[in-house]
Chain A
Amino acid sequence: MCEERRGVLEAIASEIARCTRCPLHASRTRTVPGEGNPCARVMFVGEAPGFNEDLQGRPFVGAAGNLLNEMLKLAGLSREEVFITNVVKCRPPNNRDPAEEEVEACKPYLFRQLEAVGPEIVVCLGRHSARVFFESSGLKFESIMKVRGEPRRLVVAGRELLCLPTLHPAAALYNPRLRSLLEADFRLLARLLSRGQGLDRWFL
């Protein structure tokens, strides 16, 4: 089953590599479709590739990626067992926020990745990612600080999942207060995963 899913993810990545749906294709070095375990229990969704990601074609490989790796360890996870991607698969120039049309153009790829991996938990890293998941589920999104650390069951693109919104690691890089919030959310993720043997997670 995982090999089948890997095949689907590779096909999506090939489509992304050829994508010209929004203006970002003109300025990208490489597309960054995402990577990881095709049968992951947890999927991490960030905002958009940055400078290093654009060069390497891999998500979260810069300083924010190092912090994400540390957080994964805190939750008892490794990069190999999770799937990591972004809402937008090409780098916005000068790391600006992705524009609405760019998010809309890229969203179908994200939802197809979601369908292929079928994770139990999606961790939204930052406000852009959380907004996409909340609004796609028919919920109003106000700010990441209001919703972070509170897992909720959403139905996104017809798929039921547990969404854990948290901060983008880049936001916590140089801010100890935000870093401690990020750590708390990853500790919560560890608890959600370890409760996988019981029914509790399905009551949320």
Chain B
Amino acid sequence: MPLKFEFPDARDWRYLIESLQTVIEEANFIADAEGLRLRALDPSRIAMVDLYMPREVFELYEIDEERVRIGVNFDDLNKILKRAKAKDKILFQVEGGRLRVTLAGKAERTFSLPLIDVVGEELPLPKVTFDVTAKMVSDTLRDALKDAEMISDTARFVGEEKELKIVAKSDKGELEARFSLESGSLLEYEVKQPSTSSYSLEYLEDIVSKAYRISDLVTLEFSTNKPLSLTFDIAGGGVLRYFLAPRME
């Protein structure tokens, strides 16, 4: 069998796939000796997702080939993952052009999906240096984005010396959410130079409302008029990272 990997909690995979779905409907996972990766751009090329799960995050990880490509439709995979019960383990096996997904709890249920041929370019990561880095509880960011979305479809991120602000303005009103180390709403904060950049709330809210379940903490990085990076650390050393293009004002 070219590839086999097992993860202790099937529901984490459901959250992960839902987080990937905020950017793309189908994509290739690439497995090699180091682990599993996925990098994809959304069709409008505004958002990118970059996932890395080292083999150490899996309970079992066996690969017989140098590189295995797993092309999947996330909607199809998620229908299976939604059938997972609490504490079900999940085993993925790739063989003969099919992906076998086993949910192992009280009973063991194995689903089989055809692998799909996803045409994708080899993508580099955006070449950006960041002037503002902030680490915060992901639920706090989610709340602020939900607030901002009531006002506008764009959020302006303002990185000042001591404070990070998320600002939304429209004829409906104005929102200013403020975060700082002092108030305890930021866990880490570094500003190389004050920066301001705006991003689509449609993407942001969608991404954070799914990915906050992957990790309690999120690291935001941005610079003036440059992409935003959102990093969610996965327990065991994995990383789910998003890049979002700025909206030019």
| Residue of chain A at shortest CB distance from B224 | A118
B248 touches A41 (CB 8 A): yes
A199 touches B245 (CB 8 A): yes
Any A CB within 8 A of the CB of B44: yes
Stretch among B108-116, B123-131, B142-150, B180-188 lining the A interface: B123-131
Any A CB within 8 A of the CB of B46: yes
Any A CB within 8 A of the CB of B226: yes
A202 touches B227 (CB 8 A): yes
Any B CB within 8 A of the CB of A120: yes
B127 touches A199 (CB 8 A): no
Contact residues in B for A118 (Cβ distance below 8 Å): 224-225
Residue from B126, B129, B243 with most neighbouring chain A CB atoms (10 Å): B126
**Of A41, A199, A203, A204, the contact of B46 (CB 8 Å cutoff):** A199
Chain A interface residue number, banded:
10 to 19
Q: How far is the CB of B126 from chain A (nearest CB, A)?
A: 4
| Residue of chain A at shortest CB distance from B47 | A199
Any A CB within 8 A of the CB of B41: yes
Any A CB within 8 A of the CB of B172: no
B196 touches A198 (CB 8 A): no
Distance A98 CA – B227 CA, assembled complex (angstroms): 38
Any A CB within 8 A of the CB of B48: yes
**Of A1, A41, A155, A203, the contact of B126 (CB 8 Å cutoff):** A203
Evaluate whether A199 and B48 lie within 8 angstroms (CB atoms) in the complex, with A1-B196, A41-B248, A153-B127 already known. yes
Q: How far is the CB of B61 from chain A (nearest CB, A)?
A: 30
Contact residues in B for A198 (Cβ distance below 8 Å): 44-46, 245
Evaluate whether A203 and B245 lie within 8 angstroms (CB atoms) in the complex, with A1-B196, A198-B44 already known. no
Distance A41 CA – B246 CA, assembled complex (angstroms): 13
Given contact pairs A160-B127, A203-B127, a sample of 13 additional A-B residue pairs in the complex whose CB atoms are under 8 Å apart: A41-B248, A153-B127, A160-B129, A196-B248, A197-B245, A197-B247, A198-B245, A199-B41, A199-B45, A199-B126, A200-B45, A202-B128, A203-B126
A-B contact pairs, 8 of them (CB 8 A): A118-B225, A160-B128, A196-B248, A199-B47, A199-B245, A202-B128, A202-B245, A203-B126
Query: Residues of A at under 8 Å CB distance from B?
Result: 1, 41, 118, 120, 153, 155, 160, 196-200, 202-204
Shortest 9 CB-CB contacts between residues of A and residues of B: A202-B126, A198-B45, A199-B245, A196-B248, A160-B129, A153-B127, A198-B245, A203-B124, A198-B46
